[in-house]
Amino acid sequence: MSKLALSDEILLKIEKPARYIGNEVNSVVKDLEDIEVRFAMCFPDVYEIGMSHLGIQILYDMFNQFADVWCERVYSPWIDLDAIMREKHIPLFALESQDPIKQFDFLGITIQYEMCYTNILQILDLSQIPLIATERAEDDPIVIGGGPCSYNPEPIADFFDIFYIGEGETSYRELLDVYKECKKLGKSRAEFLQKAAAISGMYVPQFYDVTYKEDGTILRFEPNMEGIPKTILKNIVMDVTDTYYPMKPIVPYIKVTQDRVVLEIQRGCIRGCRFCQAGQLYRPVRERDVEKLKQYSIEMLQNTGHEEISLSSLSSSDYSQLEELVNFLMVECEKKKINISLPSLRIDAFSLDVMSKVQDVKKSSLTFAPEAGSQRLRDVINKGLTEEVILNGAIEAFKGGWSRVKLYFMLGLPTETEEDIKGIGELANKIAAAFYETVPKEERKGKVQIVASTSFFIPKPFTPFQWAAMNTKEEFLDKAYITKNSIMAQLNQKSIKYNWHEADVSVLEGILARGDRKVAKVIKRVYEKGCIYDAWGEMFKNDIWLSSFAECGVSIPFYTTRERALDEVFPWDFIDCGVTKDFLIREWKNAVNESVTPNCRMQCQGCGAKRFEGGVCYEGQN
């Protein structure tokens, strides 16, 4: 690379200049003469977070395996560089070539969480691309969004040309070929988008119209031209073993959030927690072959020099070949002095045995996620975790030498009572008591430490709780106060620390999660008033959000505290995520009735995912 987009003077002035210079180990540079399509892959947050995201690494590797495509990366500039770029009119650039994003054919933005929406506008604005999709010129890049938030794209639909619904390894090649053909024939932007809308999993918002009822709910959502599908089925990779995976992940110059090799062992989750969106979106569970994973681990460690390897999954304990994989990794990593990270494990005898072998002598904390303080409420949310299992796990951990436990709960869950909330303090106390009953006085190294953390429940699309009312900020804070008092009333309260999430942010996330197209004008107004990095506590300006909702005439309670009728048309109903609405309604009713649903391996629940003809739905069948 012969040039940098930023001068030495600017690089010396800003925090962490290595965020912007590219040229990292394993980054891909191609000769432009051989390239027909330039694709800028964006994570709309700071470099350290974006570089830790496996999905972008997978797509970056896939695109760059195509001889005719060059995929480069771009992240949100931090606020110091953002100010300089605006002052000096420096266009946003890609890391590999340092060329302006505006020169690219595509800008692909992964949308992992709702609180990055103003950062999406920052990316477009700094790239000198019009914020509104219908205002873009022929030479502007095609802006395409993907990731979990694209399952309700409506609050940001105005800003995107296309949304890719589902897993990225399936339809991109077809989309790029259609683009190349349109370019060759001199077709317009609109003509390309019309052809793109016919490709599996592609949603082009400008080709759909929304009609509202007088009460603000949706009357109709339908295509406004022929040949455009009324319902969009998600793209899904059924064979996750023989698909793209980055054998040479990019190694950053600076420390990032996850500085390690990541092995994705499976996609999906069998558990069916009713609050969990990922557990529904990524159905059915599909496992990677253990022999392939062993090969990947050795190759990726060699290609990166990382000193840690992590297993990635929604529920690692449910991977059927976990024991074989972990035993292999323990032998290999011991030879190379590599650390092993095992997140998302259920705390059972096997997990504790493994963790005691892979963790240092100084054992770090163990994490339990009961989610609710009472058994009744755990049944409502279908957590599949009894108090007996939690306490037995804690006792086994204390016997194994652990003395610090993190507990995660949610406040504001459907049907929650004051008794359920007080149960958080009571459960924390029982775990602390179990330590003193289990570990003899002479073997204790100080007190047990229990850290109880509560987040606030946010109903998400495509979950059984998508119909649920959400609490107000005041209700959330009242419940946090009850939790705190419950903990302070316990016998072992000095061993228990309590943390809670910010209520303002949770309320906003609830609006953005279940919002419709009317919310877009609020997001745009807030951005114009200077809001970016809303996911960062110190940057979040709730007063600006509240005033912008008022100015735009958009009601906050309409999107938050209102329980939805079962027949209401949702903004995301045109998307088919593989799980049927009938199944979600059934699970919503089961929740209200406090009825537990067995997991996918115990009994098929007929959720709709069997139509994909593979994965856990067909285990044990020839």
Mean pLDDT of 600-617: 96
CA distance 501 to 583: 31
- Model confidence at 361: pLDDT above 90: no
- Each residue of 83-102: pLDDT tens digit? 999 999 999 999 999 999 99
Looking up tokens 């590797």 gives: 61
In terms of C-beta density within 10 A (0-12 exposed, 13-18 middle, 19 or more buried), how is residue 152 classed? buried
Handedness of CA 500, 461, 534, 147 (dihedral sign): positive
Nearest to 526 by CA among 504, 550, 503: 550
CA distance 610 to 463: 18
Alpha helix positions (H), 268-417: 277-281, 290-304, 322-336, 349-358, 375-380, 387-399
304 contacts: CB under 8 Å, gap ≥ 6: 25, 26, 248, 249, 251, 261
How does strand 218-223 pair with strand 208-212?
antiparallel
Strands (E), 373-478: 404-411, 449-456
Q: Give the residues across from 37 on adjacent strands.
A: 69
Nearest to 81 by CA among 540, 532, 536: 532
Domains and CATH numbers, the chain: 8-233 (no CATH), 362-501 (3.30.750.200)
- Model confidence at 349: pLDDT above 80: no
Mean pLDDT of 56-60: 97
Contact between 565 and 580 under an 8 Å Cβ cutoff? The reply is no
CA distance 470 to 511: 10
- Each residue of 551-576: pLDDT tens digit? 999 999 999 999 999 999 999 999 99
Q: 359 falls in which pLDDT band (50, 70, 90)?
A: low
The pLDDT of residue 360 is: 52
Nearest to 205 by CA among 271, 272, 154: 154
Count other C-beta atoms under 10 Å from residue 484's C-beta: 16
Q: 351 falls in which pLDDT band (50, 70, 90)?
A: confident
SS3 state of residue 93: strand
Mean pLDDT of the chain: 95
- Each residue of 449-504: pLDDT tens digit? 999 999 999 999 999 999 999 999 999 999 999 999 999 999 999 999 999 999 99
The pLDDT of residue 2 is: 62
Nearest to 78 by CA among 9, 7, 20, 8: 20
- Each residue of 250-297: pLDDT tens digit? 999 999 998 999 999 999 999 999 999 999 999 999 999 999 999 999
Rounded to 5 degrees, what angle do the CA atoms 588, 590, 591 make? Answer: 65
SS3 state of residue 591: helix
CA distance 42 to 22: 14
Which tokens sit at 83?
């100010």
**Cα distances (angstroms) measured from residue 232 to each of 114, 203, 439, 514, 596:** 21, 7, 56, 18, 31
Contact between 113 and 149 under an 8 Å Cβ cutoff? The reply is yes
SS3 state of residue 75: strand
- Model confidence at 362: pLDDT above 50: no
Sheet holding 162-164, edge to edge: 69-75, 37-43, 106-110, 142-146, 162-164, 202-203
The pLDDT of residue 341 is: 86
In terms of C-beta density within 10 A (0-12 exposed, 13-18 middle, 19 or more buried), how is residue 602 classed? exposed
Looking up tokens 């008033």 gives: 529
DSSP string covering 355-379: HHHHS-SS---EEEEEESSSHHHHH
Nearest to 240 by CA among 290, 171, 295: 290
User: Between 588 and 365, whose confidence is greater?
Assistant: 588
- Each residue of 205-239: pLDDT tens digit? 999 999 999 999 999 999 999 999 999 999 999 99
Contact between 109 and 144 under an 8 Å Cβ cutoff? The reply is yes
CA distance 506 to 413: 13
Handedness of CA 301, 303, 307, 310 (dihedral sign): negative
Mean pLDDT of 76-80: 98
CA distance 463 to 296: 33
Q: 344 falls in which pLDDT band (50, 70, 90)?
A: confident
- Model confidence at 445: pLDDT above 90: no
CA distance 148 to 98: 29
First to last CA, the chain: 52
In this structure, the dihedral spanned by the alpha carbons of residues 124, 128, 131 and 132, taken in order and rounded to 10 degrees, is -130
> 579-586 — which CB contacts under 8 Å span 24+ positions?
579/280, 579/283, 579/462, 579/607, 579/608, 579/609, 580/607, 580/608, 583/607, 583/608, 584/280, 584/462, 584/463, 584/464, 584/466, 585/464
Mean pLDDT of 93-122: 98
Tell whether omega for the bond before 17 is within 30 degrees of 0, i.e. cis. no
